[in-house]
Amino acid sequence: MVKLKAFSRFDNTTEALAAATALVDSKLSKDLKKFLKKHAEGDTLAVLDAKLGGIIKEKLSIPCVHNSAIQELARGVRAQLGGLISELGTADLRPMSLGLSHSLSRYKLKFSPEKVDTMIVQAIGLLDDLDKELNTYAMRVREWYGWHFPEMTKIVSDNIHYAKAIKAMGTRDRAAGVDFSGVLEADVEEALKAAAQISMGTEISGEDLENILALCDQVIELSEYRGQLFDYLKSRMAAVAPNLTVLVGELVGARLIAHAGSLISLAKQPASTVQILGAEKALFRALKTKHETPKYGLIYHASLIGQSQPKHKGKISRVLAAKCALAIRVDALGDTTDATVGTEARAKVEARLRQLEGRTLASEAGKPRGKAQPASYEATKQAAAGVGGLAAGAAKAYNADADVVAPAKETKKKKDKEAANGDAAAKADKKDKKKRKAEAEGGDKSAEKKKKKKKDA
């Protein structure tokens, strides 16, 4: 039988929100502490949160119980709360619970650590969009103004300087009297003025020039806003993820956070996932076709990987991803705001890079790491010889008589050649026999002819 022993009402929603927030965070509030001291001393307290029960037992010396039976009991109390508390009606309980849950949700949304990096996700997304738009507008300016001054495209390579030079001179015939010192370098300015005098471009009207200059203004404004946005992103990354910024830079770090969704979600990923984050399509294609999986994703654009040789990029990306995973967890879950962990990790990655490229000192490279290495074969052999009674430094004499020479195997070609030679010799003997036989038969015939002649005579 469950009976109500004590009940304390909240005066307003603010107090209820503070008490609920403390319970969610497993903290002992002042009001709960006073209530338990007054009504629960000398009794055993049933709690739903084991961590909170440990705090109550430590600070108030009240024994606490937490098990599955307590959870079933709490479910029953929650269902029969209107019957236990006579002052509380079922009609009032529902709107109060709904209002408190809304207030608690707004409080958690406002102070959630996952929402701190939302600005970084939005900023890097806008920065990428600005780069695309800026590149499109700059190419349109080059193509449009190139009909009037085509030689300028090869002389001025930077898009922003190209737009500023058009703003300064207008048409090409005014280039000789314009000072480009604040926009272009001296040698580029000389080449531009020389090319303007012999240009093969067509003439344009004043209305065409106005539209080209308006597009140049858009390019310049977008470029300036992009610089401001990048400065803002740098400041946010230094505040939210300083260790990750030291390792891979602001842009790569922001893209990793945006790809994962939040810093907390990125901190839950292992180093192997951080390494190939951004190359999911290539990974699944490799798994489907049973080819080699990719070695890096977004992390490939980090400066440390760019410094390494192509054959070492896979190893450096693996080392860097392992250090990044640790740095991300420190940034997401740690209490410190400095970049000590990231600085130390970057130094270790740089040392590994120098070791792979053969630039370490011989003393540093020769230091043993991990378990002790086994002795070399020659040293083990000499020690065994010393145990057997022989001198450790004496070399064993070589016995040439013990050598066995394997009989040479006749190859198929050799056998065929010998067989062919034997057949030729047999044919030659056969011919000789036939020749001798024919000669003998010829001699017999001549002798018979001579005898016949003698008889006739």
106 CB-near residues (< 8 Å, 6+ apart):
none
Please report the pLDDT score of residue 351 as a whole number. 93
The angle formed by the CA atoms of residues 230, 302 and 136, to the nearest 5 degrees, is 50
CA distance 49 to 66: 7
CA distance 396 to 381: 11
Q: Which region holds residue 61: left if phi is over 0, alpha if psi is between -120 and 50, else beta?
A: left
Give the model confidence (pLDDT) of 401-427 as tens digits: 666 555 555 555 565 666 666 667 777
HSE-CB for 48 with a 13 A CA cutoff:
10
Task: List per-residue pLDDT tens for the chain, 457 residues long.
Answer: 677 777 777 788 788 888 888 887 788 888 888 888 888 877 888 888 888 888 888 888 888 888 888 888 888 877 777 777 776 666 667 787 788 788 777 776 565 554 578 899 999 999 999 999 999 999 999 999 999 999 999 999 999 999 999 999 999 988 888 888 888 999 999 999 999 999 898 999 999 999 999 999 999 999 999 999 999 999 999 989 999 999 999 999 999 999 999 999 999 999 999 999 999 999 999 999 999 999 989 999 999 999 999 999 999 999 999 999 999 999 988 877 888 999 999 999 999 999 998 854 444 444 555 555 555 555 555 555 554 444 444 455 666 666 655 555 555 556 566 666 666 777 777 777 777 777 777 666 666 666 666 666 5
Please report the pLDDT score of residue 362 as a whole number. 42
Among 71, 70, 62, residue whose Cα is nearest residue 43 = 62
Please report the pLDDT score of residue 364 as a whole number. 47
CA distance 395 to 183: 80
First to last CA, the chain: 168
Please report the pLDDT score of residue 391 as a whole number. 44
For the stretch 9-14, contacts whose Cβ atoms lie closer than 8 Å and that sit 24 or more positions apart, written own/partner, are 9/87, 13/99, 13/100, 13/103
Q: Which residues of 141-163 are buried (b: 16+ CB within 10 A; e: fewer)?
A: bbebbeebbebbeebbeebbebb
144: which DSSP letter?
A: H
CA distance 308 to 165: 38
Q: CA quadruple 353, 357, 360, 364: dihedral positive or negative?
A: positive
Please report the pLDDT score of residue 14 as a whole number. 81
Q: Which region holds residue 389: left if phi is over 0, alpha if psi is between -120 and 50, else beta?
A: left
Other C-beta atoms closer than 10 Å to the C-beta of 54 total 14
Other C-beta atoms closer than 10 Å to the C-beta of 65 total 12
Please report the pLDDT score of residue 389 as a whole number. 45
